[in-house]
Amino acid sequence: MRQAAGARLESRAMENPLNHASHASAAAIEPAGSRFVRACLRQRVDRTPVWLLRQAGRYMPEYMAVRRHHSLLEICRTPEIAAEVTITAAERLGVDAAIIFADLLLPLTPMGLDFEFLAGEGPVVHAPIRTAEQVRALRTDRVEELGYVARAIEKVVAHFAAPRVDGDQLGIIGFCGAPFTLASYMIEGGSSRNYIETKKLMYNDSAAWSMLTEKLVAMLAGFAQQQVEGGADVIQIFDSWVGALSVADYRQYCLPAATELVRRIQAIGVPVIYFGVDTASLLPAMSETGADVIGLDWRIPLAAGLKAMGHGCGVQGNLDPITLFAPDDVMEARVREVLDAAAGRQGHIFNLGHGIVPGTPVENVIKVVQWVKEYGAQ
Ligand code: CP3
pLDDT at 350 over 80: yes
pLDDT tens string 201-223: 999 999 999 999 999 999 999 99
Is residue 318 reached through a cis peptide bond, with omega within 30 degrees of 0 on the bond before it? yes
Atom 13 of ligand 1 has which residue's CA nearest to it?
103
Q: How confident is the model at residue 32 (pLDDT cuts 50, 70, 90)?
A: low
3 versus 106: the higher-pLDDT residue is 106
109 versus 22: the higher-pLDDT residue is 109
Atom 38 of ligand 1 has which residue's CA nearest to it?
122
CA of 59 to the centre of ligand 1 (A): 12
CA of 105 to the centre of ligand 1 (A): 9
- Report the pLDDT averaged over residues 253-263: 98
Q: How confident is the model at residue 12 (pLDDT cuts 50, 70, 90)?
A: very low
Q: How confident is the model at residue 378 (pLDDT cuts 50, 70, 90)?
A: low
CA of 54 to the centre of ligand 1 (A): 7
Atom 22 of ligand 1 has which residue's CA nearest to it?
240
pLDDT at 312 over 60: yes
**What does the pLDDT read at residue 16?**
42
Among 64-68, 118-122, 239-243, where is mean pLDDT lowest?
118-122
Q: How confident is the model at residue 82 (pLDDT cuts 50, 70, 90)?
A: very high
pLDDT at 9 over 60: no
- Report the pLDDT averaged over residues 228-253: 98
**What does the pLDDT read at residue 116?**
96
32 versus 323: the higher-pLDDT residue is 323
E strand or H helix at 196: helix 196-204
Q: Is 195 left (phi over 0), alpha (psi -120 to 50) or beta?
A: left
- Report the pLDDT averaged over residues 95-124: 96
- Report the pLDDT averaged over residues 240-246: 98
Where does ligand 1 bind, in terms of residues with CB under 6 Å? 53-58, 67, 72, 89, 99, 101, 103-105, 117, 122-123, 175, 191, 238, 240, 355
- 114 contact partners, CB below 8 Å, separation of at least 6: 108, 125, 126, 127
Produce one character per residue of 249-288: b if its CB has 16 or more CB atoms within 10 Å, e if not: bbeebbbbbbbbbbbbbbebbbbbbbbbbbbeebbebbbb
DSSP letter for 240, please: T
Atom 31 of ligand 1 has which residue's CA nearest to it?
122
Atom 37 of ligand 1 has which residue's CA nearest to it?
122
CA of 325 to the centre of ligand 1 (A): 20
In this structure, which amino acid lies at residue 375?
Answer: Y
CA of 46 to the centre of ligand 1 (A): 31
Give CA 313 to chain center in angstroms: 16
Q: How confident is the model at residue 345 (pLDDT cuts 50, 70, 90)?
A: confident
Q: What is the CA radius of gyration of the chain?
A: 20
Three-state DSSP state, 378:
coil
Q: Which atom of ligand 1 is nearest to the CA of 55?
A: 1
**What does the pLDDT read at residue 120?**
84
pLDDT tens string 103-112: 999 999 999 9
